[in-house]
Amino acid sequence: MAEISKSYEPRDVEKKWYAAWQAAHAFAGRPAADRQPYCIVIPPPNVTGVLTMGHVLNNTLQDILVRRARLEGRAALWIPGTDHAGIATQTVVERELRKQKKTRHDFGREKFVEKVWDWRHEKGGIILEQLRRLGASCDWDRTHFTMDPAYSRAVLAVFVDLFRKGHIYRGKRLVNWCPASQTALSDEEVIMKPVNGTLWQVRYEIVDRPGEFISVKTTRPETIPGDVALAVHPDDPRYAGLIGKSVWRPLNRAQIPVVADTAVDREFGSGALKITPAHDKVDFEVGARHHLPVIDVLNADGTLNELAGPGLAGLDRFAGRKKAAELLKESGALVGEEAYQNNVGYSERADVPIEPRLTWQWWLKYPRVEEAKAAVRDGHIKFFPERWSKVYLHWLENIQDWCISRQLWWGHRIPVWYRKGLNKEKLTEADLKDPAKVHVSFDGPADKENWFQEDDVLDTWASSWLWPLATMGWPDETEMKKAGFDYFYPTTTLVTGPDIIFFWVARMIMAGLEFARPGAPLEKRIPFRNVYFTGIIRDHLGRKMSKSLGNSPDPLDLIDKYGADGLRFGIISIAPQGQDIRFVEDRIEFGKNFCNKLWNACRFRQLSGPAGDNASLAAIAARLDAAKFDADDHAILDRILATTRDLEKCFREFEFSAGIQALYGFFWNDFCDWYVEVSKAKLQSDETRANCLAIQDLVLRQTLLLLHPFIPFITEELWQLLGYGTADTFLMRDARLEDSSQLAAALENRGVRLDPAKTLRVSLLKELVSSARQLKASAGLAARSDLTYYLLNTAATNLVEVEDVARLLRLMGAKAFRVVGQAPENCPAIVTAAGTLYLEIKGTVDAAAEKQRLAKEQAALEKHIAATEARLANKAFTDKAPPAVIEGAKKQLAELQAKRAELERLLKALD
RNA sequence: GGACCCUUAGCUCAGUUGGUUAGAGCGUUUCCUUGACAUGGAAAAGGUCACUGGUUCGAGUCCAGUAGGGUCCACCA
């Protein structure tokens, strides 16, 4: 067995084990009749993306779940893959082309799509490689991509199916248009931002009352040429006589009517509203109600067109805005302007203001909305933290039809063909249902030459909403069988960010309910049973991490610096359930330090004695000798059992940072700081050595099992180095984590009955040791190890036993420790629960300093006693509090009073 | 406008059905390279739990309100 080196060097260890695991296909998830399934599908990252801290958190959590499930003996499967990310990817490739002064139109659709595929083949594997560095135990043989042929077939089959069911329709409506990407967007892809602009006041002259005007306020004067009316509130007395009259449109001068509509807010501005149906949602509705025409003055790229009139046509919308204001000023129509902040919708991807634009698009009326609500409301799908279910339900309550078509080239081209010669813009509802005019199918019409295909592609989310289905072979039955659909669906847990609860989570639920196992009960059709929402990682100032701010560290740099395990440990330790996380690198260093501590504790074990039979928990337990157990042995086994229980609870409740804290506290404080230290004495005696080594092995083995999901690399390495595995096996694949009851049973089988009295004694010994060190330090003798301590014990029972003394001496740093019945003279002292501890000092004691120290403690004690006395004196408390609490308070008071008496005695002795 | 979250030590954060004197890591001060680990050990300092009320024998924890910070939804031109 190789010797464990002095410090942990993650780089080679990580490389070695990841390669070994992969070569053995150890991550493969296969159905097994005698095992419970456990399945996670990865939230597919953008195919051209790179790893961010958000990915690190998200994927570490998934890996923790999947690795823990494996150790529990479940057939665990984690399906990886990537998303083609329509707009994002197309934009990236177009940006590259622009560097060569070209656009996608220079290549044409087919050539351009080829170029995107090239790009994908070149860059598409990066993020998955990076996930491997992190230790992600995905079943890589089952990697999927949303544009793979099989996946695409699923996407298009769903389109055809929903079209036939009447859920998908084509409609001309005002959509969110992104002038940069030149495509429609869904409502979810628009983010509102406050923008500082100008509110212009413009007057419209009344046609038959020259010299009289109606004024309106607008933030968008460039759309005035698109005005088709002014609207006022029907009950507004100011305009009562004007309804039905006409006014002069001040730009592209023409007569437009004044209409009455309740949509107008009388309080705002002058109470009159200009109606521009082509460029505003409310205006569009008003226009429809009053049968007004639509004048679209914008081109697809956001420039003004001929309808905007001379002076404006050809200008960009922002330049046009300025110009329009100037023109109005010249003509005297502009009567005021003020600084104004309003909310403007921005394209999430391109980060430019969107334009409401009237276009033909494909729409989806969501299926299974009511079932989707019920699935979460009735607990078939559980959200962690639970509060997100409210957000989810609220969205479903107000759900709007989904614009699923995109004017892009990169994506799933909509499987609709139109008969040649038809004008797409003039199709009626009846035409769309007439198979002689419109053909909808996966394969297309047999006589393709007589048809032309729809240009639009589908929204990326209209493919990723099928992720849990299509990654398991759906809808092809042979493929589903191969993928184990029957066994693994519904998946167990989805781990994702709350920012895509509408984009993805809700839609996957509806897709699952609609398409999985038709006719089966709801709980068989849902795509997952649990959804764990992570927090968002922010920088130390609380800002969202983003590329443009440059405030996101590169996770790969962090892995180089602290190791993947250190990064994982650190990030999970600061990620409580559902709270946002402020990233501080200190915590990652903390993770690295923990790994080094673990490493060295195992090194200590290795250096302490030869390995025994370590092949299983039973084998190690067989080496325990209950007759040789002392209090420390009892206490450490009690703690590892409790920690095992704690972790079980943490996994049940998705409390990972609590889990890691429990492991940290146990391992660092209980095992390293105490048990390893007391071991040093035990190991020197032939009498106790073997039993002590067996306990170390039992504890370390269990600790490695509990830690492995969090820090897989180092635990695998140590598992092997300490011989807990057998030849050709992995901790990650072949080991089984005994649960707390199995662990307790293994101990009992060896006659080990954990004794609470002994655990309690250890806490007394700890207090003694820490008091002894305190005495040394305050006497300025911290470095000395040749001191003598006396423990005054006048009680009938002796709390410190002979067998404890050797260990106490080592930990106190003392040469002698004596239990005495009479107080020694001239020694500084501390009152402990085990008796008063004295430090023998050569020379004179600084009585003043000693008095001060004791008096300070006395003051704190007095305060505490007073509070406890007051509590017990309160009749309401003694009447109403539970007996256990009252008993506890009484006992505590007695102890405090005894301590006070002893302190008073010590103070008196100093006088 | 509606909903939700946060405010605890200098910093980053825990605190699970209300119940001893509120914890951790980092940082700070002092001491220690003792044969697992200086990526370490020991000791110490540091908090009126944002504020104001309420419920309760008892509130960091439950309720209401206020202030500050954040997120989501809806948006009046």
pLDDT tens string A285-312: 899 889 999 999 999 998 999 988 888 8
Q: Is the CB atom of residue A668 positioned under 7 angstroms from any atom of strand B?
A: yes
Q: How far apart are CA A688 and CA A426, in angstroms?
A: 93
User: Is there contact between A274 and strand B, defined as CB under 7 Å from any strand atom?
Assistant: yes
- A463-486 pLDDT, tens per residue? 999 999 999 999 999 999 999 999
What is the distance in angstroms measured between the alpha-carbon CA of A387 and the sugar C1' of B4? Answer: 8
Tell me which DSSP letter residue A544 carries: B
Q: CA(A545)–C1'(B70) in Å?
A: 14
pLDDT at A551 over 80: no
pLDDT band, residue A1 (cuts 50/70/90) = low
Spatial strand order of the sheet with A528-533 comes to A382-384, A528-533, A491-496
* Contact status, residue A137 vs residue A22, Cβ threshold 8 Å: no
Residue A314 (CA) to nucleotide B42 (C1'), in angstroms, measures: 77
Helix A585-608 and helix A712-721, axial crossing angle in degrees, nearest 10:
10
Pairing between strand A814-820 and A787-792?
A: parallel
pLDDT band, residue A796 (cuts 50/70/90): low
What is the number of other CB atoms lying within 10 angstroms of the CB of residue A144? Answer: 20
- ipTM value for the complex: 0.95
* Strand B bases with any atom < 7 A from protein Cβ: 3-6, 11-16, 19-21, 24-26, 30-44, 56-58, 69-77
Among A185-199, A254-268, A842-856, where is mean pLDDT lowest?
Answer: A842-856
The per-residue pLDDT for A160 is 96
| Residue A220 beta carbon within 7 A of nucleic strand B | yes
Burial of A14 (0-12, 13-18, 19+ CB in 10 A): buried
Among chain A residues 172-201, those with CB within 7 Å of any atom of strand B: 187-188, 191-192
Which tokens in the block code for residue A295? 């004048």
Average pLDDT over chain A, rounded to whole? Answer: 91
pLDDT at A548 over 70: no
* 3 state SS of A321: helix
Cα(A306)–Cα(A304) distance, integer angstroms = 7
More confident residue, A647 or A350: A647
pLDDT digits (tens, 9 = 90+) for A131-146: 999 999 999 999 999 9
Residues 757-816 of A with CB under 7 A from strand B: 770, 773-774, 777-778, 782-783, 785, 813
How are beta strands A37-41 and A81-82 bridged, if at all?
Answer: unpaired
Cα atoms in the 13 Å half-sphere on the side-chain side of A509 = 31
Nearest nt by C1' to A577 Cα: B14
Nucleotide nearest to A536 (CA to C1'): B71
| Residue A651 near residue A659, CB atoms below 8 Å | yes
For residue A717, pLDDT beyond 90: yes
For A892 and B61, how far is CA from C1' in angstroms?
23
Scanning every strand, the nucleotide with its C1' closest to A264's CA turns out to be B76
pLDDT surpassing 90 at residue A803: no
The nt closest to A657 (CA vs C1′) is B14
> What pLDDT is attached to residue A469?
97
> What mean pLDDT is predicted for residues A741-767?
91
Find residue A203's DSSP bridge partners.
Answer: A215
pLDDT attached to residue A370: 95
- Strand B-contacting residues in A 708-747, CB cut-off 7 angstroms: none
Contact present, A283 and A277 (Cβ < 8 Å): yes
Give residue A640's pLDDT: 95
Whole-number Å distance, CA A786 to C1' B28?
30
By C-alpha to C1' distance, B32 is nearest to: A783
Task: Please give the nucleotide, over all strands, whose C1' is closest to the CA of residue A683.
Answer: B35
CA–CA distance from A690 to each of A620, A626, A671, A681, A726 (Å)?
11, 12, 18, 13, 22
Residue A885 (CA) to nucleotide B51 (C1'), in angstroms, measures: 31
Residues 476-505 in A having a C-beta less than 7 A from any atom of strand B are 498-499, 502
Name, in order, each residue with C-beta under 8 angstroms of A13's C-beta and a sequence gap of 6 or more: A713, A714, A717
Q: Is the CB of A680 under 7 A from strand B?
A: yes
Largest CA distance in chain A: 116
Report the distance separating Cα A372 and Cα A527, nearest Å: 11
Distance separating alpha carbons of residues A569 and A840, to the nearest angstrom: 45
Amino acid identity, residue A547? K
Q: What are phi and psi of A822, to 5 degrees?
A: -135, 140
Looking at residue A892, what is its pLDDT? 87
* A34-52 pLDDT, tens digit each: 999 999 999 999 988 889 8
pLDDT tens digits, A779-793? 888 888 888 999 998
Tokens of A266: 């009388």
Lowest mean pLDDT among A110-124, A319-333, A763-777, A801-815: A801-815
Report the alpha-carbon distance of residue A520 to residue A125 in Å, rounded. 38
**Region A420-425 average pLDDT:** 87
Q: Is the CB of A892 under 7 A from strand B?
A: yes
Rounded distance between C-alpha atoms, residue A300 and residue A310, angstroms: 19
Residue that is written with structure tokens 């622009």 in the block: A98
CB within 8 Å of A302: residues ≥ 6 apart: A179, A180, A316, A317, A352, A355
Question: Average pLDDT, stretch A401-405?
Answer: 93
589-628 of chain A touching strand B, CB 7 A cut-off: 589-590, 592-593, 595-597, 600-601, 603-604, 607
